Amino acid sequence: MKTIGVLGGMSWESSLEWYRLANERVHDALGGHHSARIILDSLDFAEIEELQGRGDWDAAEALLAEHAQGLERAGADMIVLCTNTMHLVADVIEAAIGIPFLHIADTTAAAVLGAGVRRVGLLGTAFTMEKPFYRERLEQQEIEVLVPDAEDRAAVHAVIYDELVHGVIRAESRALYREVIERLVAQGAEGIILGCTEIELLVSSDDAPVPVFPTTALHVDAALAAAGVDLRPGA
């Protein structure tokens, strides 16, 4: 099994979910006392959030590239970034390392296309929904992307930063997300991408009338497959 270098802490709530899923998947696949080979570098999210807030993406990309290089030096065979939003600087991270970088939007696109879906609604932080880095990555694979209107985007973003990153799960917020999903489906969305690692703590396939694509879980499975773990049932 290859070693996965994980850039996490953005937020630690979602990184915990990534780590938990990875180890559960390995245990289910291999049994016994097996667990995932992971080197985790958990950053201080306050520092990242400050850079996001003032739009200093140059500093953010330099910081994450440096930490990715540290994971490579520590023995990682590949790098994953446990946050959808910070894939805004993925190109710089990938260019800074000599090992593979597994892009979360690519693993999501593969699942969307595999399900026969061509038009999706995208939920995430305001950065993910409004900036082109994520949407264009999907559109390059001929996936049409719909985002909520401005009011819904603000509400979705607020739930992430005010609640989910702090581990706060509220039924009222789940109901709000369901309403946003319903409006996206009414606009023609054939599937919903949970394009923020924290959203999977709040919303599941039970909350949508169309297929839901949980980016964290999909990312974990793709990383483990790349690490040489056969996740096929009965393998």
Could you tell me the residue ranges of all domains in the chain?
A: 4-103+218-226, 105-214
Tally of CB atoms within 10 A around 102? 19
CB 2 within 8 A of CB 226: yes
- For residue 191, the cross-strand partners are 120
235 has pLDDT over 80: no
Read off the tokens for 149: 């209107």
Taking the C-alpha atoms of residue 176 and residue 228, their distance in angstroms, rounded to an integer, is 39
Topology, domain 105-214? Rossmann fold (3.40.50)
What does the alpha-carbon distance between residue 88 and residue 58 come to, in Å, rounded to a whole number?
A: 11
Q: What share of the chain is helix, strand, coil (3-state, %, to 5)?
A: 55, 15, 30
Q: Is the pLDDT of residue 234 over 60?
A: no
85 φ/ψ angles, rounded to the nearest 5 degrees: -55, -45
**Three-state SS at 119:** strand
Banded model confidence at residue 48, pLDDT cuts 50, 70, 90 = very high
Question: Active site includes 196?
Answer: yes
State yes or no: pLDDT of 232 exceeds 80: no
Fold of the domain built from segment(s) 4-103+218-226: Rossmann fold (3.40.50)
Active-site residue, selected from the candidate residues 82, 85, 128, 196: 196
Do the domains spanning 4-103+218-226 and 105-214 agree at the CATH topology level? yes
Q: Which residue among 82, 83, 125, 216 is the active-site one?
A: 83
pLDDT in tens, 51-81: 998 999 999 999 999 999 999 999 999 999 9
Amino acid 231: pLDDT: 81
> Does 216 participate in catalysis according to the annotation?
no
